[in-house]
Amino acid sequence: MKDEILTEVTRRNMFIQPDALDLLESSGKDIVFVNTLLSSVSSNKFLITKKDVEDFLNGDKGLMTSEKVIPNKVNPKGDFVVLKATDITGNSTCEAKVEDFVKYFKSRYEILAGIIKDNNPAFEHSLPIAKARKLDRDVCLIGMVYEVSVTKNGHKIIQLEDHNDRCSAFINKDSPLMKDPVITDEVIGVKGKFSPSGLFIVDKIVRPSVPKNHQWIPSDTSSSIAFLSDIHIGSKEFLQSGWDNMMHWLKHNAERQGINYLVLSGDVVDGIGAYPGQEDDLKVLDIYEQYDILADYLKDVPDHMQILMHPGNHDACRLAEPQPALKDIYTKKFDSSINITGNPISIKVEDRVVTSYHGKSFDDWIGAIHGASYEKPLEIMEHMVEKRHLAPIYGKKNALAPESKDYLALQPLPDILVTGHIHNVGVEDYKGIKLIQASSYQAQTDYQKQHNFNPVPCRMPVVHLGTGRITLKNFMK
């Protein structure tokens, strides 16, 4: 573990005191905690001290604070709007016909190509592949990645396609671009020139990413928003004590601290038949009863808090993403004030855009990007932001429904992006976007042990919507 810590510290051009390193190693915390600590202090210091580690180990330390703080303005009624254009619920049209797939990928291409053009002036007048191949000069192309391969000599070949044509883009094995993780079905911009043999020689790769001037601009709101995920009601491993600790804390602190909003990012129940042998892990074998129990539990949430809930892969919903909201037959006992939406979803909360996605695509990202792992969820979320897509890879572990619109494209650009699914926890400020991995309320199951899946449960990230300050509450006590 010490070597991993030093690697992350060095990667960020930082230093750590020996006693701080010893304390961090002996704490038993995983690399997610280390990255969270480093991300939070990297903006104002380069040396990690023992006190820094001690502050973070208590679980109540503010992890990120904007440099500028504007005086609070009380907003007791709040301002919470679901962005309907981001919700598949009631808008699904796909029948899995050929034309559905054509519409789906065209939608993705047009959304992401448009973002590339907006963020990169050189690509504003990018050329179609068919026209560019006729020119003997440097050109800019935008294409969707059909396939990525490596030649026997170690060069990389990217098959790119637009609406009407396809080309082979060549990256020399000695180019620094070889380290760029290009994955299938993402949309990229490339600058270069066609060779006489018809290969497009790549000099530069750009992605939709984030506008260069994007930042978190402090506001005068006093409100905060909290995040939960993967509650897994019905599981024998549901952590009742952690849940009770959290509800007790909210009851006595939420209103006083201005925590006015709560987002539940999927897998709110454990479901039925979600994986082989799941029945052995269930305490509640009836899916309707699982949701009824959750409905009763959510009645303990303070009345002033507005709640949003959407499904995940364990919920009673289609597995293919985007997922529509849970049907009324499952949610009839829920308070009518709870906003029940599809997955993913974007909401506007006091002028902040929050995108919540359960995160099933983590399973595909990890298989596609060298070095990606469940222990480093924030690094994968960075790729989501760079590629401006939550689940670009088609045809692997994560099922995608070919809707006429690509609801998984990260548009609009959020101020906060939250995911669940992997039962880990972490927070990071990335290019002005708060990245949140939202923990769980389920201990490790036998199935998870078999797959070396180590949860970090009963943490609750809370983001102050004015300053951007993030607090990570620990209810595993």
Q: Is the dihedral of CA 396, 397, 402, 406 positive or negative?
A: negative
Q: How far apart are CA 55 and CA 98, in angstroms?
A: 56
pLDDT value of position 74: 35
What would the 3-class secondary structure string for 62-98 be? EEECCCCCCCCECCCCCCEEECHHHCCCCCCCCCCCH
Q: Which residues contact 138 (CB under 8 A, 6 or more apart)?
A: 191, 192, 193, 203
Using the predicted structure, report yes or no on whether residue 326 has a pLDDT greater than 50.
Answer: yes
Using the predicted structure, report yes or no on whether residue 12 has a pLDDT greater than 70.
Answer: no
Section 223-247 average pLDDT: 97
Q: Which residues contact 170 (CB under 8 A, 6 or more apart)?
A: 155, 156, 157, 195, 199, 200, 201, 202
Q: Say if residues 356 and 308 touch (Cβ distance below 8 Å).
A: yes
- Please report which confidence band the pLDDT of residue 337 belongs to, taking 50, 70 and 90 as the band edges: confident
Assigned fold of 99-206: OB fold (Dihydrolipoamide Acetyltransferase, E2P) (2.40.50)
- Please report which confidence band the pLDDT of residue 248 belongs to, taking 50, 70 and 90 as the band edges: very high
Write down the number of H helices and E strands in the chain: 12, 20
How many other C-beta atoms lie within 10 A of the C-beta of residue 339? 17
Record the tokens describing residue 462, joined without a space.
């809370």
Record the pTM. Answer: 0.85
pLDDT value of position 198: 95
- Please report which confidence band the pLDDT of residue 73 belongs to, taking 50, 70 and 90 as the band edges: very low
* Average predicted confidence (pLDDT) for the chain: 90
pLDDT value of position 450: 79
Using the predicted structure, report yes or no on whether residue 40 has a pLDDT greater than 70.
Answer: no
What percent of the chain has pLDDT above 90? 77
Domains 63-93+213-474 and 99-206 share a fold: no
What percent of the chain has pLDDT above 70? 91
Record the tokens describing residue 261, joined without a space.
């909003």
pLDDT value of position 67: 36
Q: Which of 325-339, 414-428, 443-457 has the lowest mean pLDDT?
A: 443-457
Q: Residue 257 class from Cβ within 10 Å (0-12 exposed, 13-18 middle, 19+ buried)?
A: middle
pLDDT tens-digit readout, 346-355 = 999 999 999 9
Domains of the chain by residue range: 2-58, 63-93+213-474, 99-206
Using the predicted structure, report yes or no on whether residue 160 has a pLDDT greater than 70.
Answer: yes
At the top level of CATH, the class of 63-93+213-474 is: alpha beta
pLDDT value of position 65: 43
- Please report which confidence band the pLDDT of residue 57 belongs to, taking 50, 70 and 90 as the band edges: low
Closest CA to 340 of 82, 80, 79, 77: 82
Helix, coil or strand: residue 442: strand
Using the predicted structure, report yes or no on whether residue 457 has a pLDDT greater than 60.
Answer: yes
Q: Which of 39-48, 147-156, 200-209, 414-423 has the lowest mean pLDDT?
A: 39-48
